[in-house]
Structure 1
Amino acid sequence: MILLGLLIAVIVFVVLLLIDYELGKRAYQKKAPVFDFGKNQADRDLFTNGDALFSSLFEDIKQAKKSIDMMFFIIRDDSISRELYHYLEQKALDGVKVRLVADYVGSFSMNKDIVKELEASGVQFVFSDRPAVPYFFYRLNRRNHRKITIIDDEIAYVGGFNVGTEYMGNDLRFGKWRDYHLRMTGEVVGNIARVYQYDWNDATKEEQFNKKIISKSSSGKDKTIELVVTESGQLEEIFLSWINQATHEILIGTPYFIPSKKVFQALVNARERGVELHILVPIKADHPLVKPAAFPYYKKLLDCGANLHLYTDGFYHAKIMIIDESFCDIGTANFDMRSIFLNKEINTTIDSDPDFISHIRQAYFHDLKSSNSMTHDWINKQPLKTKISAWIAYCVRPLL
């Protein structure tokens, strides 16, 4: 009787979580903001390793005269984060307006002492997306995954890097860290600032932000970027539109490959119409379930002739899609259901600068040289523990 009672209690608890999740999803989809910026002029630089990125970022912070707005999903309590805190505190003491947003779950290691020290120097700090009722379970899983920095409203950074020693390649478990991050100047910075202000207002509850945000101040034909700002499920249709336009090549780089049913079918359809498909993922895992969760998708893609690659030179964390050598997407969204349906994300797309797209494409194929081809034999030889994890992951894949 005791075991039966426990079983019933577990079933009821799971059902309540599912109801909470579904109701929360519907509620947030109804009020999701619409960002429509069009194409904006932008000069940009690509960073693929932490040393170069943080060297540039810290130098720009030190040169700041008016304002620093910064947002990350993960900020660790380690040497690189403390260096960041030092620079932010110094600029705040010098009279620069400094605002810092950290995701409540992703940056949970930021303790009260760190926050007090930042605020004592004049840094305005807030955690974003604290879990709360109603829809507690849904809101617990709905994270602010954007990584944005804006300096003096003239320079903006967007991409996959968070703040921690592992992103510098200094974690023994992961080794070298491969990621893609953009530094941008030009009119696009103003629209990135609008996204930041929307998130700041949402986190602080200071004021209601306009649900529909439109700013179409596009300029020249080349060196333009279009911002893709999503939350609550809009990314699925966007991914579909990109994949369905492919005529001969799709290149995808992602640390996690757990696409929605529609997005996965679009990839299969692309292969059926003769599009060459390459997918690059890390051989290492930073989560017990996300790697095995992808196995069913890998098997089907191998069956239809896709080229799957396992990055071996450290950990691969880039989020990138290149289509037909003429379209490129770099941003914060992973190729998984969490980014597609749950997380707040910001991506950048480029379709008017062949030289820059070629540069990024070369970086992608450079990474392929540090990878092994995935095969059915490799998947089948996975240990029993991994196969059990794959079954568990299948059951919870919408949260991965």
Structure 2
Amino acid sequence: MIFSILFFILVLICLWLYLDFTYGRKRHVKELKKLNFPERKSDIRIFTDGTDLFEDLFKELETATDHIHVLFYIVQNDAFSERFLQILEDKAKSGVEVRLLLDWIGSFGFKRNYREKLKRNHVQFAFCHVPRFPFFFYTLQKRNHRKITVIDGKAGYVGGYNIGKEYIGGDPKLSPWRDYHLKLQGEGVHDLQMQFLADWTLATKEKVKKDPRYFPPLPKGTSQHRFSATEGVELEAIYIRFINGAKRSFYIGSPYFVPSAPLFDALSDALDRGVEITIVVPKLSDHALVQEASYPYFRKLLKKGAHVYQFETGFFHAKILIRDDSDCDIGTANFDNRSLFLNHELNCYIYDPTVVAHAKSLLLQDISHSSRLTLRQLNQPNFFRNCKEWIAQSISHFL
């Protein structure tokens, strides 16, 4: 009797989760509103070391005179984060308008006293993507994974880094942290500003006026590029088109590799037509099951001649695609189902051969610190790994 009751309750919970996710997804797609950005020209700098990035970012923050707009997925509770927050508070007290937007799940542990201190010091603070009924489970899965900083409407940052000690080598297990983050000065900052304000309005319901001071005149930079903002709907098709355009080579750098079936088919077709595909992932893992979820895909790709490398000197968190040495994508999206179908992401497609060549040199440097994964390694008998692969495949949509 008790077993029957528990089984009935479990069935009801599974049914609720299914209906919640299915109809939540339908409403999300129906109500989707996204920004479309044109091609721009900006000066672009790529950071791969957290210490260098935050030295530059903090310096820019400290010189702000009008406004600071910041969106991060994660801000940790540690001394490094406190230094970042103190800069925001000091600037707000000096009269600079400061907005800080954090993802509710990503920064779930962000201390209440931090939030209260920010508000006392005139920093406008908000969480985005707070789960809500009637589709609580679906909204719990959606995340704002963008990391945007705009300073005085003239300098902008976007990429893979968040705020916390691990990003500057403070976590012994994940150190050094390898990531790619962009700094832009030029026309593209306008689009970063637009996206931040759209995300702020969605989270707070505050209709921020498009004040001219948020959008000062910006010079043309040297590098042609275009931003692509996605919200769990269009990224799969964008990636497939990007892969389908490859003629010679295609590089993928990502901390997680869990492609959808159509995206995997695009990679397989590229190999069939002679495109050399190289994939770089970390050897270390910062989340359970994500490595095991990638192994079935790697087996099939390796059989077709793809090259897979596991970064060994630290944790590899970069998100980069390079096609034919002619254009590349650096941004916030991972090569996984969560970025494809759930997260709000922001990628920068770069068409400047000089920047693309530099990005490729950085990735080749990372490959030189990696070991090559072989089919023999993946096919060695391992009962526990096989069990984890099975579990990972069953929940791959959420990895």
Q: 1:191 to 1:52 in 2, by over 3 A?
A: same
SS in 2 for 1:163: coil
Quote how far apart the aligned CAs of 1:383 are: 4.6
> What is the aligned partner in structure 2 of residue 169 from structure 1?
169
> Are 1:312 and 1:371, in contact at CA under 8 Å, matched by a contact in 2?
yes
Cα shift at 1:127: 0.4
State how 1:122-201 maps to structure 2 within 5 Å. Answer: 122-201=122-201
Does 1:93 find its partner at 2:90?
no
Change (3 A) 1:99 1:220: closer
Structure 1 equivalent of residue 313 of structure 2: 313
Question: Cα RMSD over matched residues?
Answer: 1.9
Separation (CA, whole Å) in 2 of partners of 1:302 and 1:116: 52
CA distance in 1, matches of 2:34, 2:115: 32
Task: Report the alpha carbon displacement of residue 220 of structure 1 after superposing the two structures with TM.
Answer: 6.8
> Would you say how many aligned residue pairs link Structure 1 and Structure 2?
394
SS across alignment from 1:280: strand
**Residue matched to 1:331:** 331
Shift, 1:377, TM fit: 2.5
CA contact (8 A) 2:283 2:311 kept: yes
Give the Cα separation in 1 of the matches to 2:375 and 2:3.
41
In 2, Cα distance between equivalents of 1:382 and 1:142: 37
Provide the residue aligned with 1:258 in structure 2: 258
Q: Is the 8 A contact 2:186 2:219 kept in 1?
A: no
Instruction: Classify 1:4/1:99 alpha carbon distance in 2 versus 1 (closer, same or farther; 3 Å).
Output: same
**Cα distance in 2 for residues equivalent to 1:34 and 1:54:** 29
Task: Pick closer, same or farther for the CA change 1:297–1:326 going to 2, 3 Å.
Answer: same
AA partner of residue 63 (structure 1)? T
Equivalence for 2:78: 78
Offset, 1:381: 3.9
Deviation per residue, 1:180-235 (Å, 9 max, x gap)? 0000011111111000000000000123999xxxx9x9997951210000003110
- Could you tell me how far apart the structure 2 residues matched to 1:317 and 1:40 are? 26
TM-score with structure 2 setting the length:
0.95
Match of 1:291 in 2: 291
Residue 298 of structure 1 aligns to a residue whose secondary structure is: helix
Alignment correspondent of 1:384: 383
Match of 1:10 in 2: 10
In structure 2, what is the equivalent of residue 366 of structure 1?
365
Q: Is the 8 A contact 1:167 1:177 kept in 2?
A: yes
SS at match of 1:48: strand
Tell me if the contact between 1:38 and 1:218 (Cα under 8 Å) persists in the aligned partners: no
Deviation per CA, 1:91-119, whole angstroms, max 9, x where unpaired?
A: 00000000000000000111211100011
Query: What is the rounded CA distance, in whole Å, between the counterparts of 2:209 and 2:33 in structure 1?
Result: 9
Is the contact made by 2:186 and 2:221 (CA closer than 8 Å) also made in structure 1?
no
Distance 1:366 1:332, change over 3 A: same
- CA distance in 2 between counterparts of 1:260 and 1:228 reads 19
| Corresponding residue SS for 1:236 | helix
Counterpart AA for 1:375: T
The two structures have a TM-score, normalised by structure 1, of 0.95
Corresponding position of 1:117: 117
Supply the distance in 1 between the matched residues of 2:354 and 2:192 (Cα, whole angstroms).
Answer: 24
Residue matched to 1:350:
350
Q: Please state how far the C-alpha of 1:384 moved relative to its aligned partner.
A: 3.3
Percentage of matched positions with identical amino acids: 39
Deviation at residue 362 of structure 1 after TM alignment:
0.4
Contact 2:229–2:345, Cα closer than 8 Å, also in 1: yes
CA distance in 1, matches of 2:367, 2:58: 30
